[in-house]
Chains A and B, each alone.
Chain A
Amino acid sequence: MRDDLWPVLWTAIGETLQMAVSALVIGGIAGLLLGIALYVTRPGNLLSNRPVFYVLNILVNIVRPIPFIIFITAIQPLTLAITGVSIGIGAAIPALAIMTTFGTSRIVEQNLVAMDPGVIEAARAMGAGPLRIIATVIVPETLGPLILGYTFLFVAIIDMTAMAGAIGAGGLGDFALVYGYQRYDQAVTWTAVAVIVLLVQVAQFAGNWLARRVLRR
């Protein structure tokens, strides 16, 4: 790889991390709330509400299967309205955050469904209300699996940020496309690949470590 590309690579890494972390924080929190809503409104559960459950469920099913590369272009008018820009990192973050929200919601819901409902019954028997049960029973009891779920999501977000590169969002995907693919420089492409693999490894390692601590195993 040409020496003068190193500063560009560093910038690209920074951009990718900025996009990924923003998406993880915004989409992670929104997705946690949406996933909890899906779980508690499910018929027979804590705040059982069939209409709300079906609306949320269908909404998630509509958005989630849209390929990200299409989604990011499809919502460009919305992005423009929110951020005032249609290219660059700022333009990619809303799409990333929305997609992350819907992806997170399913992962959160799956982990909650797998939880033993007996502890919720115990908390109800002690006179705890629904919001307290969500905050002090449901989330803490599933924290270990949730951390692993978020680790998985982080990897998926890195994947999405690379695609965002195709519409000029910057980051490692953009770097690989512009300096590697379009200039026939395989070394650049593989450098980007190596950096992404490294990022994913670090994220997975950190997630596993944190989940182990929470689960005390």
Chain B
Amino acid sequence: MTAMVSLHDVTKVFAASTAKGAPVHAVDGVSLDIERGDVFGVIGWSGAGKSTLVRLINALERPTSGRVVVDGVDLTELSERGLRPARAGIGFIFQQFNLLRSRTVAGNIAYPLKVAGWSREKRAARVAELLEFVGLSDKARQYPDQLSGGQKQRVGIARALATNPALLLADEATSALDPETTKDVLDLLRRVNQELGVTIVVITHEMSVVSYLCNRVAVMESGKVVEQGSVYDVFSRPERDITRRFIGSALHDRPRADVLARLRQRHPGRIVTVAIRESEGDSGVSLTERLRAHQVDGAVVYGGITEVGARPLGSLTFALTGDDARIDALLADLGAHTEVVEHREVTA
């Protein structure tokens, strides 16, 4: 079975905005495959090119070079008119919701159905079904201005799903929402994926969104995809600094320099950070067993462990006291199984 979305060496260059400025390579030689049923995260800081990337997938932007294939259809070969039915088969939700303020909630959800030429009766039935699905049946006659941010995004999702698309694109869909509402919307997206079987592409700058929702991820920096794979693999074995920074931004598990300085003042011994990953089997229990085996005393002084794709990920920082040779042996032992970083004191 072919991939839901295939990008082949896709590049998008925007002309310089000023006469003297250089052209901007928003997306630079990106190739990736998104399989059916995936919840695929694209993570990057703002300006990394991820919003342009997602707009290439539904051809709101045309690539400068490369091919974009969605559901077996090469979008780069279609005319602007030919793209319209293709776009109608791809749902899109926006950070700022982009609801029509002049239409009611029901009117907004019915809009794509009108575009697709559904009859009035079929539209009404489908709108009622969608309102039920997103839990807003009582808001049908209200206008977007009367809704909260989370409710507006639910309408956005219902509207995007109206024509039964096989693919849903979400551009920073939760970035304008508070944490509680974010979780509700992510849960709804998860239902869209699991109950309706819709493939979802999630654009975000928030690691927590990726770890909560996605099974696969691509990390973007300066228009390029610098790492991609299963969420757990990418985040448990980051190869790039940018990926480590995203993990740190979500976990806060590794002590910063100022925290380290305080830890040193407070605790005697050597300060060591040990990565916690599922595959090594290095749970907290086995760590304490190893400490005992090497006759080293260790106090947990910092750390954080969370779940990514229902598997543990994080790190613990110890203050180790005891014979230096024994500590070295312990670190060598641990280092054979997982990532170990000793924070040596910087001597002036």
Q: Which A residues fall within an 8 A CB radius of B?
A: 116, 118-119, 121-129, 132, 136-137, 140-141, 143, 214, 216
Contact = CB atoms under 8 A, between A and B. Distances in A.
A121 B102 contact: no
Nearest to A118: B98
Nearest to A124: B60
Nearest to A140: B102
**Which 6 residue pairs across A and B have the least CB separation, nearest first?**
A127-B88, A122-B98, A118-B98, A125-B92, A126-B112, A140-B102
14 contacts: A118-B94, A125-B90, A125-B92, A126-B88, A126-B111, A126-B112, A126-B115, A126-B159, A127-B88, A129-B81, A140-B102, A140-B103, A141-B101, A143-B102
Interface of B: 58, 60, 81, 84-88, 90, 92, 94, 96, 98-103, 111-112, 114-116, 143, 145, 159, 163
A126 B98 contact: no
Contacts of A216: 143, 145
Contact of A141 (B87, B100, B143, B163): B100
Contact of B92 (A119, A122, A137, A141): A122
A142 B95 CA distance: 21
Contacts of B163: 126
A120 B84 CA distance: 14
A123 B114 CA distance: 11
A143 B81 CA distance: 28
Nearest to B101: A141
Nearest to B83: A127
Q: Tell me if A's interface is mostly helix, strand, loop or mixed.
A: helix
A185 B284 CA distance: 102
A119 B85 contact: no
Contacts of A214: 102
Contacts of B114: 136
Contacts, number: 60
A127 B94 contact: no
A128 B114 CA distance: 9
A193 to B, nearest CB: 39
Given A118-B94, A216-B145, A127 B102 contact: no
B90 A137 contact: no
Contacts of A116: 96, 98
Contacts of A129: 81, 84
A150 to B, nearest CB: 17
Contacts of A123: 111, 115
Contacts of A126: 87-88, 92, 111-112, 115, 159, 163
Nearest to A126: B112
Contacts of A124: 60, 87
A35 B300 CA distance: 69
B115 A127 contact: yes
Nearest to B92: A125
B100 A127 contact: no
A123 B92 CA distance: 10
A44 to B, nearest CB: 10
A125 B145 contact: no
B156 to A, nearest CB: 8
B29 to A, nearest CB: 25
Contact of A132 (B94, B99, B101, B115): B115
A126 B99 CA distance: 12
Contacts of B99: 119, 122
B282 to A, nearest CB: 46
Contacts of A128: 84, 115
B94 A122 contact: yes
Nearest to B143: A216
Contacts of A127: 84-88, 112, 115-116
Contact of A121 (B88, B98, B100): B98
B69 to A, nearest CB: 18
Nearest to A128: B115
Contacts of B84: 127-129
